Amino acid sequence: MHVAGSHDGIRAVTFTLETPTVDDLDPVLEVLRAWQVPDAPFQLHPGDVGWFWRTGAETTAAAIRTWSRDGRTAAVGLLDGADLLRLAIAPDLQQDEGLAAQVVADVGQPDRGVLPDGEVYVELPVGAHVREALGRDGWGSDEPWTVLQRDLSDPVEDPGLRVAVVGPELAPAWSEVHRAAFGTPLTAEAITERWHTLAGGPAFEEARCLLGFDEHDNPVASIIAWSAGPGRVGLIEPMGAHPDYRGRGHGRAITVAAAAALQEMGACAAAVATTTSNVGGVATYRSAGYAEIAQRLDRRREAA
């Protein structure tokens, strides 16, 4: 899909909105990796696309939107469900008024093929000009998210938990923990099938899926550490602790283990975001050495 750009009333700036094909996804992931630099705001990560890949390559491609100018990708969005666009913007274009105006126009008109009518949401990097532009267009603020990050310049401590890297053999056990932790209606078999799908995706080549075991060899916690490459910020998502074994520090331990895995892969930092109302989750990340770096307020448009 190609949609012509618009201009912001100050200077004509044309951006092209596209939905990539499966063959285009590798370049999209490479762009997202390049944007995960230490001084850039927390935003859509290649690991987010990697996790979404569990739904299949074709579904993932259909959920991606890109905004480009003169052959250069300026922004990437992931439709994480029909009503939520998760947006990443090139670090040097975070304050670009033309890009902001184009995104506002595209997300506000259903015929552009981004968001439908009704109540919808846009997840934005903190401080990006598009947030202000959406506010001027009548969009309100959604619930706050806490963004946390752990610097990886110093050695990461031992997590105090036996941790294994998950491959096909351990995928069923990982799926059982994930299912129990998040209460998903999917069966463990269905989650395992999805695990194999995401493990076949290109983002997983720079990821490490981890499973923690207690002293009785019970699988108790799960996480995936997603690298964006050496010297860049990695993502940990999703993290879950089995409810039958909660309250024993397993969530903290697996989160520390993910930081160590990212450090081994050359990441400069590990990052995560969770709703601020998830007090327990925020506390777990803090206990694992992650410090709050921002409060993020996404945008919400009410149904007419």
Question: Final residue of a domain: which of 86, 108, 140?
Answer: 140
Tens-place pLDDT, residues 85-96: 999 999 999 999
CATH of the domain at 76: 3.40.630.30
Strand partners for 295 = 146
- Which pLDDT score, from 0 to 100, does residue 8 have? 42
> 104 and 59 in one domain?
yes
Q: What is the pTM of this model?
A: 0.94
CA distance 67 to 294: 26
Tens-place pLDDT, residues 28-48: 999 999 999 999 999 999 999
Element (H, E) at 69: strand 64-69
Tens-place pLDDT, residues 123-179: 999 999 999 999 999 999 999 999 999 999 999 999 999 999 999 999 999 999 999
Tens-place pLDDT, residues 233-284: 999 999 999 999 989 999 999 999 999 999 999 999 999 999 999 999 999 9
Question: Final residue of a domain: which of 116, 140, 164?
Answer: 140
Cα 178 off chain centre by: 17
